[in-house]
A = this chain, B = another copy of it.
């Protein structure tokens, strides 16, 4: 249903470096990249068809499963300046029944500029114990793996 070509609609995103993302060195402040990663993760879910309220806590709408980030990292290859138009390629990957990670490749006019990673763990909201990923996230992970030409986990 989701062909490799289609996955670009939710895995290939765009972002422009804004003035508030820079610091006095004149370039993007390093910690902003992780914020862009999370925004891209949210936009990807949204484009795939998962409304924010299905995945993220909103007032008056409790979730059975929380997906906190337990690890993140970033690598910076070249400075980014205000106005730079970025492409962000997302590579979501299921790690096991209860966790997944997303790799984010940032490029500027075709040149790799930076890379981010977030690792998420499924936690049952009531018991605070590890649990299985929600079905909605599994669908997004599987469709994304297909889209990347990767075999889905069986």
Contact = CB atoms under 8 A, between A and B. Distances in A.
Interface of A: 16, 18-20, 22-27, 29-31, 34-35, 38-39, 42-43, 46, 51-53, 56-59, 66, 68-76, 79, 81-83, 118
Work out how many copies of this chain go into the complex.
Answer: 4
Given A16-B46, A19-B23, A31-B31, A58 B82 contact: yes
Given A70-B76, A75-B70, A58 B20 contact: no
Q: Please report whether the interface of chain A is mostly helix, strand, loop or mixed according to DSSP.
A: mixed
B38 A18 contact: yes
Contacts of A27: 24, 59, 68
Contact of A76 (B31, B38, B71, B81): B71
